[in-house]
Structure 1
């Protein structure tokens, strides 16, 4: 089974991270059949990557600027039976691809995601609650002992069957991250769209498929925390307009009614019984994060519904993969 891995990059500020990400793919116990690096509208970075990664496919994003367009550009040229995605600021454990591939052999599985472990480049703030690790792109839920069914995997640590993209289209533009704008949710919308098309099939979370995600100091600040929460609320509202509230908010209901209250109680308990004053701060951060995310959702819900990015030939509302090939280097 052929596995293509797509890495998207947009800034030279993360050059060393990109080099480390590609190096981690070359150390895999199951080597990818091809590594595709998509540069998002940055000519200088494209030229540098083309010179550095001679054994990879380097292509410029010819779709709309942003993570969704860059991933779709990579999908246009990927030839694998499985398409994996790795963030440009993350390193994959040596058995990452092998574990994802093993779970993908089941015909009922559409895709598999793994665990994203934070690698703080500075000190982790005492106020930062683990329940909000998604703010920095890391796994926030309880880590199980074996693979479990999930609504959607994390986009920068996942492997999806090529059949999914060929049938329902690629990532919807206008939802995901664009440069440093902290939006998200493009993988959520795609996963929901896939399971709506194949209600008998699932996505899995394989907890032993690990990547290590670098968290720079600026993402460990209060301002980034709140801005990311607000943007997430807007993203969820946008996704709801495309796939409906029932599916788009299914995981969030359990998260807000079960996980977050437990987190608040734990923070208060840490402060009162374990003499950890920062427990109050973590409890407060959970409440502030929830309020801010909800505000973003309300704001996004009031916005006019965005026009879908659809293939002219499609009979259903699916994003097109009809982008140009771009400048490719091997």
Structure 2
């Protein structure tokens, strides 16, 4: 008889290492297998988590189903406003660990993920550590198989036109982002000292997924900038050995989504700069736009000249992505100026659209 995951004793954390609580936020039954694969990957960590917290975003039926399906996981309902920020804040409030790590509900973590995070917290100035998020494109190992073996045998096929410089549009680490000190971490693969949340004030409910129809983001960007502004001595690090794989559904591998996500990112950045200021809010983006993207466009043109015609598509996608992001930012800034005194979330909510994840 095969032992279940819940009956297998986890490996003990290294002596003196922080206790890490892992928070996974879920909102839809459509990701049932994804959520179970994510949980399985945390159970399989070389460095045992203090606990696994699964926060359900205003979906009572899903809450009851997952609570019954995952009896060894702490399943709670989002106690704040609908959306990813509220779910993360709820997870932080419940967490018991010294460090709180976040994993997307449609991702799986490599076995050494938490161990890579833990080794940096011996430095008292390290407030947060993030990792490398690799895409699982359409055709990758299905989540139903990842429940039993949470390391993908196949990561699918990247669309040939899709530039690596824009992998952030599908929630993944992009070309140009290097290991070491960074301004902000990517929210689906990040960890923070629990004591830093009262300092920074938590994730803003006016920014990010779950409150707009468009694919907004940047709640973790705004949080990280605010953390550094309030605790200037703190450091945020990117460790390229803290690896997760993030699923990219077919609809997000299409150019229409790519363009929409770029526009929404511009709107999100307008909200971020309104909160934390333009200098901090756009510092990394300026460097990416002025250095990494031109190099990427030239690389694509060079590839096309060497016979890879898809290189022209990648160069074109970089140009369109940058233009649509800039357009979204301009629209967001204009909307913010017109909505004097309004909440940031209202500044870029298009024509009364209903919240959505």
Worse-superposed segment, 52-61 or 177-186:
177-186
Q: Which runs of 4+ in 1 moved over 6 A?
A: none
Structure 1 partner of 2:218:
185
Q: In 2 relative to 1, CA 50–181 (structure 1 residues): closer, same or farther, beyond 3 Å? A: farther
Q: CA deviation at 1:110?
A: 0.8
Tell whether 2:99 aligns with 1:82. yes
State the Cα distance separating 1:201 from its structure 2 match.
Answer: 1.7
The equivalent residue for 1:155 is 187
In structure 2, stretches of 5+ residues that fail to align are 1-17, 140-156, 346-357
Answering whether residue 295 of structure 2 is matched by residue 253 of structure 1, we say: no
Distance 1:198 1:141 in 2: 28
Structure 1 residue 308, shift from structure 2 partner: 6.8
Name which structure has the greater RCO, CA cutoff 8 Å, separation 6+: 1
TM-score where L is the length of structure 2: 0.83
Q: How far apart, in 2, do the equivalents of 1:176 and 1:259 lie?
A: 25
May I ask how many residue pairs the two structures share in their alignment? 306
Indicate if the aligned counterparts of 1:101 and 1:159 stay in contact, CA closer than 8 A.
no
- Aligned residues: CA RMSD: 1.4
For normalisation by structure 1, the TM-score amounts to 0.90
Q: CA deviation at 1:124?
A: 1.9
- Equivalent-residue separation in structure 2 for 1:308 and 1:258 (angstroms): 30
Change (3 A) 1:76 1:100: same
Q: What are the within-5 Å matches in structure 2 for residues 135-146 of structure 1?
A: 135-142=169-176, 144=178
Which of the residues 295, 298, 301 maps onto 1:265?
298
User: After the TM superposition, which residues 1-330 of structure 1 pair with which residues of structure 2 at under 5 Å, given as runs?
Assistant: 1-122=18-139, 123-142=157-176, 144=178, 147-178=179-210, 181-272=214-305, 274-303=306-335, 304=339, 306-307=342-343
How far is the alpha carbon of 1:307 from its aligned partner? 2.8
In structure 1, list runs of 5 or more residues that go unmatched.
310-330
